[in-house]
Amino acid sequence: MNPPVPSMASTDLAREWSIVHILSMWYRDHHRRLPWRETRDPYRIWVSETMLQQTRVETVIPYYHAFLERFPDVAALAASDEEAVLKCWQGLGYYSRARNLHRAARLVVERHGGRIPDDPRAFLALPGVGAYTAGAVMSIAFHRPIPAVDGNVLRVVARLENLCDPVDHPTVRRRIERLVEGWLQQAEPAVFTQALMELGAVVCTPRSPRCGACPVRSACRAHRAGTAEDLPKRAPKRPRRQKVVLALWCETGEGVVVEQRPADGLLGGMWQLPAHELDADALDAPSDAGRDAESGGAAEAAGPVRRALMDCLQRVFPGTACHAVRFVEVARERHVFTHLEWSVRLFRPEGMPAGARVDRTRFRVVCRDELGGLPWPRVYEKLISGALQMLI
DNA sequence: AATTCGGGGTA
DNA sequence: TACCCAGAATT
């Protein structure tokens, strides 16, 4: 079934030939059928590659279908509101991907007449398109030999070449890109690019790689050296910073007070309840000042927690006398991000003076039925559902 | 070169 | 728990 290997079987040239062709044929025969592999539409491939950044295939699949149903082509995406795009992205994480993709779609309409550029430099110039995504779309959609080096390819190549340097260093990464670029010259780019990633996803996995099932193990230097399990090397990660988030459930006759986060930074553009974020060690340092009193089974805020909540409340209702309010905790969530950890506590102010006016320039008041129409981070989804369940 | 960006599956 | 995932932008 495989074509004959050239006679110079022990040379580097034959090894490269083997990597390119054996792997390509293996991909043709064994690849998984994934939604974005059923199309040749560059837009759809671009959307999939954007969603797949740092995100697992199984996670992406439902989002991919829903997104393309809502935004079937670049023009539809460009014509939509950013908030609608974020809503489709809700729960997927890394929300700057959604906002960049939306901006990029508008640029494609403006600059390129609505057609996705088949030129690597023009495509790379779009927001949210980095070296990987450019290589992936160029090779898969336009059959151009541009390397697409993701986490799978880093691992596969580090093992094939037995590279013991940390792969998350730019110099090592560039070295791997050069290697792949060379292999691509002898390959069908759309096939070989996906073959490398597929091998990493299915066979050459991070832990317990299935070397026995690998079509190119005879070309793998790590397998020969017995180091496959230990590769690739990565730089150690720093511990997460701990933060406390104090949020408010302010429900008036009109509805619930909500606000949109700033466009850039953490959870940019997503909605949240009025909140105050502070370093965790700022709270637990003073001995007993931050401890909360128990009253009637519900925790009531005291000390610095109460002061922070009061600041927050004054932002929502500027110029309103709130001295007498008590804050009753109605929900609590821990949420882990890549580089920080949130401990969120949601409080309901009790005893608000009648006629308190919400600052509508910073906040919006929406009725309960409309909460679901806004894009929320996962942690606020959980908090709100918890609060609604408690408050009925 | 190092940080900052989500969220979830898995051992 | 710790790791890692079809990474990009910012500093």
Nucleotide nearest the Cα atom of A136 (by C1'): C6
Query: pLDDT tens digits for A186-214?
Result: 999 999 999 999 999 999 999 999 999 99
Which residues in 77-96 of chain A line strand B, with CB less than 7 A from it?
Answer: 91-96
Query: pLDDT tens digits for A260-275?
Result: 999 999 999 999 999 9
Lowest mean pLDDT among A184-188, A236-240, A288-292: A288-292
Dihedral, A308, A310, A314, A316 alpha carbons, nearest 10: 80
Q: Taking residues A16-33, report their average pLDDT.
A: 96
User: Protein A292 CA to nucleic acid C9 C1', in Å?
Assistant: 41
Query: pLDDT tens digits for A35-84?
Result: 999 999 999 999 999 999 999 999 999 999 999 999 999 999 999 999 99
Query: pLDDT tens digits for A296-307?
Result: 445 676 688 999
Domains annotated for chain A, with CATH where assigned, are 12-230 (1.10.340.30), 241-391 (3.90.79.10)
Say if CB A362 and CB A313 are below 8 A apart: no
Q: Taking residues A11-20, report their average pLDDT.
A: 93
Q: Taking residues A231-250, report their average pLDDT.
A: 94
Indicate whether A233 pLDDT > 60: yes
Percent over 90 (pLDDT), chain A: 85
CB of A237 nearer than 7 A to strand B: no
Lowest mean pLDDT among A98-112, A119-133, A284-298: A284-298
Cβ neighbors of A170 (< 8 A, separation 6 or more) are none
CB of A36 nearer than 7 A to strand C: yes
Going edge to edge, which strands form the sheet with A271-272?
A271-272, A256-260, A364-366
Query: pLDDT tens digits for A323-364?
Result: 899 999 999 999 999 999 999 999 999 999 988 999 999 999
Which residues in 152-191 of chain A line strand B, with CB less than 7 A from it?
Answer: 169-171
Indicate whether A102 pLDDT > 70: yes
Going edge to edge, which strands form the sheet with A340-350?
A275-279, A241-248, A340-350, A326-336, A298-300, A293-295
What pLDDT shows up at residue A257?
98
Which position among A16, A38, A49, A329 bears the catalytic label? A49
What pLDDT shows up at residue A285?
53
Provide the positions of strand B that have an atom within 7 A of a protein CB: 1-9, 11
Indicate whether A289 pLDDT > 60: no
Provide the positions of strand C that have an atom within 7 A of a protein CB: 3-9
User: Protein A197 CA to nucleic acid B8 C1', in Å?
Assistant: 20
What pLDDT shows up at residue A323?
87
What pLDDT shows up at residue A299?
65
CB of A206 nearer than 7 A to strand C: yes
- Reported confidence tier of residue A294, pLDDT bands at 50, 70, 90: very low
Indicate whether A287 pLDDT > 50: no
Asked if A49 is an active-site residue, the reply is: yes
What pLDDT shows up at residue A301?
67
Q: Taking residues A139-145, report their average pLDDT.
A: 98
d(CA A101, CA A306): 41
User: Protein A149 CA to nucleic acid B8 C1', in Å?
Assistant: 23
User: Protein A341 CA to nucleic acid B4 C1', in Å?
Assistant: 14
Indicate whether A115 pLDDT > 50: yes
Q: Taking residues A173-184, report their average pLDDT.
A: 96
d(CA A274, CA A280): 18
What pLDDT shows up at residue A290?
43
Say if CB A247 and CB A75 are below 8 A apart: no
What pLDDT shows up at residue A217?
96
User: Protein A38 CA to nucleic acid B10 C1', in Å?
Assistant: 28
Higher-pLDDT residue of A300 and A290 is A300
Nucleotide nearest the Cα atom of A45 (by C1'): C6
CB of A62 nearer than 7 A to strand B: no
Which residues in 98-127 of chain A line strand C, with CB less than 7 A from it?
Answer: 100, 127
Residues facing A328 on adjacent strands: A300, A348
CB of A389 nearer than 7 A to strand B: no
Instruction: Please tell me which residue lies nearest to nucleotide B2, judged from CA to C1'.
Output: A169
3-state DSSP of chain A = CCCCCCCCCCCHHHHHHHHHHHHHHHHHHHCCCCHHHCCCCHHHHHHHHHHCCCCCHHHHHHHHHHHHHHCCCHHHHHCCCHHHHHHHHCCCCCCHHHHHHHHHHHHHHHHHCCCCCCCHHHHHCCCCCCHHHHHHHHHHHHCCCCCCCCHHHHHHHHHHCCCCCCCCCHHHHHHHHHHHHHHHCCCCHHHHHHHHHHHHHHCCCCCCCCHHHCCCHHHCHHHHHCCHHHCCCCCCCCCCEEEEEEEECCECCCCEEEEECCCCCCCCCCEECCEEEEECHHHHCCCCCCCCEEECCEEECCHHHHHHHHHHHHHHCCCCCCCCCEEEEEEEEEEECCCEEEEEEEEEEECCCCCCCCCCCCCEEECHHHHCCCCCCHHHHHHHHHHHHHHC
CB of A198 nearer than 7 A to strand C: yes
d(CA A384, CA A375): 13
Alpha carbon separation from A263 to A268, A367, A368 (Å, rounded)? 4, 24, 24
Residues facing A50 on adjacent strands: none
Indicate whether A288 pLDDT > 60: no
Residue A102, classified by CB atoms within 10 Å of its CB into exposed (0-12), middle (13-18) or buried (19+), is buried
Indicate whether A368 pLDDT > 50: yes
Q: How far is CA A335 from the centre of its chain?
A: 15
Query: pLDDT tens digits for A149-166?
Result: 999 999 999 999 999 999
In the structure encoding, which two tokens stand for residue A68, read together? 């393309």
Q: Taking residues A313-326, report their average pLDDT.
A: 93
d(CA A95, CA A369): 24
User: Protein A262 CA to nucleic acid B7 C1', in Å?
Assistant: 20
CB of A210 nearer than 7 A to strand B: no
Say if CB A172 and CB A235 are below 8 A apart: no
